């Protein structure tokens, strides 16, 4: 077994003070940083994903419905599209950017700097199992976890290392993930591997 940690969209744009903030986002960023520091040895690979929007078309709207259209966020090259400052010492093995010219909720829709997809990079590294954390649980975390499970990775979401856009959307996302076979666990329940 080879396990990867996938850190989804932990960017200032999705934290308090950002253009599309999730309540508790800054605290989640710090908890993820602390967890990664103390559990780095449990992972053969660490990957990050970032919303990196250049011209995502109708994904951005001046009158967003917050379902299919959103205010501008994660704009490529801006400070709020970078990884959250709490993750400065993360030392990730892979960095995936997504959503450049279209909406992209899953890290599996993005690419690394050399053009590899997340799935291809994980498979090339021999990864069999993934833990998914980040922002927001109800959207990009859930979609990344669902795509990981569909791609054949044993997938676990660490529920204390993510926050949903709202409690209701978080609950709906957890129902979808469990139905697809994704395991939900708290980070404290994970034994060192």
The DSSP output letter for 57 is G
Among residues 15, 51, 97, 98, the one annotated as catalytic is 98
Does the active-site annotation cover 9?
yes
Distance (Å, rounded) from C-alpha 33 to C-alpha 40?
Answer: 10
Among residues 9, 44, 129, 147, the one annotated as catalytic is 9
Is residue 56 within 8 A of residue 100, CB to CB? The reply is: yes
CB neighbours of 89 closer than 8 A, spacing ≥ 6?
A: 33, 37
Among residues 44, 97, 131, 140, the one annotated as catalytic is 140
Does the active-site annotation cover 15?
no
Measured CA angle at 132 (ends 22, 90), to 5 deg: 85
Does the active-site annotation cover 91?
no
Residues taking part in catalysis: 9, 98, 140
């Amino acid at each position: 077994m080879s396990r990867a940690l996938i850190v989804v969209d932990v960017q200032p744009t999705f934290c308090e003070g950002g253009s599309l903030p999730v309540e508790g986002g800054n605290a989640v960023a710090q908890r993820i940083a602390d967890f990664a520091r103390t559990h780095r040895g449990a992972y053969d690979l660490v990957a990050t994903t970032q919303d990196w929007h250049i011209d995502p078309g109708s994904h951005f709207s001046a009158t967003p419905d917050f379902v299919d259209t959103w205010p501008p966020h994660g704009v490529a090259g801006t400070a709020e599209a970078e990884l959250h400052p709490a993750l400065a010492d993360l030392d990730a093995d892979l960095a995936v950017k997504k959503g450049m010219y279209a909406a992209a909720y899953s890290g599996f829709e993005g690419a690394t700097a050399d053009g590899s997809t997340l799935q291809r990079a994980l498979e090339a590294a021999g990864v069999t199992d993934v833990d998914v954390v980040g922002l927001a649980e109800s959207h990009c975390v859930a979609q990344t976890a669902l795509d990981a499970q569909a791609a054949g990775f044993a997938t676990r979401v660490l529920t204390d290392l993510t926050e949903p856009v709202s409690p209701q959307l978080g609950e709906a996302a957890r129902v979808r993930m469990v139905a697809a076979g994704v395991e939900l666990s708290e980070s404290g329940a994970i034994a060192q591997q």
